[in-house]
């Protein structure tokens, strides 16, 4: 845990409401500034600053993020209509919180290319 990381505090239950999903490895919670009717963030409980800091040892954990997002999408009724997963990495991609997180966006039609 990084003491100055807001997502570490959310994963530890120190701030924020009840998570959408949580187990010993990952936490999912609603984005505070939703960009779609469904906007959920899926994070590892372990602090990893960005995909650039992910190591080979994180392979299973990164796969778990994807599978957890798919399960949540199904739970939210998004599997058939579709949804988008976004993983911003670094300044030009718009990463603002440096604890790796997968955005799960759904409930509206998405544009391509993304902005």
Binder among 45, 78, 95, 105 for ligand 5GP (CB under 6 A):
95
Size of the site for ligand 5GP (CB under 6 A): 13
Q: How far is CA 56 from CA 50, 53, 59, 105, in A?
A: 14, 10, 6, 27
Q: Which two tokens stand for residue 17?
A: 């409401």
Give the three-state DSSP class for 29: strand
The answer to whether 39 is a known catalytic residue is no
Residues in the chain, overall count? 115
31 touches ligand 5GP (CB under 6 A): yes
Interface with ligand 5GP by CB under 6 A: which residues? 6, 16, 29-33, 41, 88, 94-97
> Which residue ranges make up the site for Zn ion (CB under 5 A)?
2, 5, 7-8, 47, 99
């Amino acid at each position: 845990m990084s003491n100055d990381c807001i997502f570490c505090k959310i994963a530890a239950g120190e701030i924020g409401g009840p998570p959408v999903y949580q187990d010993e490895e990952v936490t999912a919670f609603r984005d505070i500034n939703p960009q779609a009717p469904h906007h959920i963030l899926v994070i590892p409980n372990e602090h990893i600053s960005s995909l650039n800091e992910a190591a080979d040892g994180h392979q299973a954990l990164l796969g778990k993020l994807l599978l957890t997002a798919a399960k949540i999408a199904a739970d939210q009724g998004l599997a058939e209509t579709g949804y988008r997963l976004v993983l911003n990495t670094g300044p030009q991609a718009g990463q603002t919180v440096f604890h790796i997180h997968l955005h799960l966006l759904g409930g509206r039609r998405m544009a391509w290319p993304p902005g």
